[in-house]
Amino acid sequence: MGALAGKRVLLVIGGGIAAYKSLDLIRRLRERGAAVRCVLTKGAQEFVTPLAAASLAGQRAHTDLFDRADEADIGHIRLARDADAVVVAPATANLMARLAGGHAPDLASTVLLATTLPILIAPAMNVRMWLHPATQRNLAVLQGDGVAVVGPNVGRMAEAETGPGRMAEPEEIADAVEALLARSNGEKPLAGRHLLVTSGPTHEPIDPVRYLANRSSGKQGHAIAAAAAAAGARVTLVSGPVTLADPPGVTVVRIESAREMLAAVEAALPADIAVFAAAVADWRPAAFGGEKIKKGPEGPPPLTLTENPDILATIARRTEGRPPLVVGFAAETTDVIAHARAKIARKGCDLIVANDVSAATGVMGGDRNSVHLIGRDGSLETWPTLAKDEVARRLVARLAELVPSP
Ligand code: C5P
Which atom number of ligand 1 is nearest to the Cα of residue 347?
8
The pLDDT of residue 337: 87
Residue 158 pLDDT greater than 70, yes or no:
no
Q: Which of 63-77, 161-175, 345-359, 368-382 is predicted least confidently?
A: 63-77
The pLDDT of residue 155: 75
Confidence of residue 334 (pLDDT cuts 50, 70, 90): confident
The pLDDT of residue 73: 56
Q: Take atom 4 of ligand 1 and give the residue whose Cα is closest.
A: 330
Hey, which bits of 114-193 come out as E strands?
Answer: 119-123, 148-149, 153-156, 162-166
The pLDDT of residue 400: 94
How far is the centre of ligand 1, averaged over its atoms, from the C-alpha of 282 (Å)? Answer: 8
Paired residues of 331 in beta bridges: 355
How far is the centre of ligand 1, averaged over its atoms, from the C-alpha of 153 (Å)? Answer: 28
Mean pLDDT score of the chain: 91
Confidence of residue 46 (pLDDT cuts 50, 70, 90): very high
Domains 8-184 and 194-402 share a fold: yes
Instruction: For residue 47, say whether it is annotated as part of any ligand binding site.
Output: no
The pLDDT of residue 71: 53
Any residues with CB less than 8 A from the CB of 89 and at least 6 apart, and which? 11, 12, 13, 14, 18, 21, 22, 25, 121, 122, 124, 167, 173
The pLDDT of residue 74: 63
**251 or 144: whose pLDDT is higher?**
251
The pLDDT of residue 183: 81
Mean pLDDT along residues 144-152? 88
DSSP state of 156: E
Mean pLDDT along residues 332-344? 89
Q: Which residues' Cβ are closer than 6 Å to ligand 1? A: 198, 258, 276, 278, 280, 282, 308, 310-312, 328-330, 343
Instruction: For residue 292, say whether it is annotated as part of any ligand binding site.
Output: yes
**18 or 385: whose pLDDT is higher?**
18
How far is the centre of ligand 1, averaged over its atoms, from the C-alpha of 49 (Å)? Answer: 53
DSSP state of 42: T
53-73 confidence digits (pLDDT tens): 999 999 999 998 876 565 545
Give the separation between CA 167 and CA 150, rounded to whole angstroms.
8
265-278 confidence digits (pLDDT tens): 999 999 999 999 99
Mean pLDDT along residues 100-104? 96
Most confident of 49-53, 188-192, 342-346: 49-53
The pLDDT of residue 77: 81
- The enclosing H or E element of 51 equals helix 50-57
- The enclosing H or E element of 305 equals strand 305-307
Residue 369 pLDDT greater than 90, yes or no:
no
Which atom number of ligand 1 is nearest to the Cα of residue 331?
4
Known active-site residue 214 = yes
The pLDDT of residue 65: 80
Q: Looking at 153, 214, 355, 369, which residue is catalytic?
A: 214
The CA dihedral of 313, 316, 317, 321, to the nearest 10 degrees, is: 140
For residue 6, the Cα-to-chain-centroid distance in whole angstroms is 27
**CATH class of domain segment(s) 194-402:** alpha beta
**CATH homologous superfamily for the domain 8-184:** Flavin prenyltransferase-like (3.40.50.1950)
Residue 320 pLDDT greater than 80, yes or no:
yes
The pLDDT of residue 69: 60
Substitution candidate for ligand 1 out of 216, 311, 325, 350 with most atoms within 8 A of CB: 311
pLDDT > 90 in the chain, percent: 72
Mean pLDDT along residues 194-212? 96
Instruction: For residue 329, say whether it is annotated as part of any ligand binding site.
Output: yes
Please report, for the chain, the start and end positions of each structural domain, with discontinuous segments joined by +.
Answer: 8-184, 194-402
Substitution candidate for ligand 1 out of 280, 283, 325, 373 with most atoms within 8 A of CB: 280
214-245 confidence digits (pLDDT tens): 999 999 999 999 999 999 999 999 999 999 99
Closest listed residue to residue 41, CA positions, set 84, 82, 97: 97
**308 or 290: whose pLDDT is higher?**
308
Which atom number of ligand 1 is nearest to the Cα of residue 309?
21
Residue 157 pLDDT greater than 80, yes or no:
no
Instruction: For residue 42, say whether it is annotated as part of any ligand binding site.
Output: no
CA atoms within 13 A on the CB side of 222: 21
Substitution candidate for ligand 1 out of 257, 306, 307, 329 with most atoms within 8 A of CB: 329
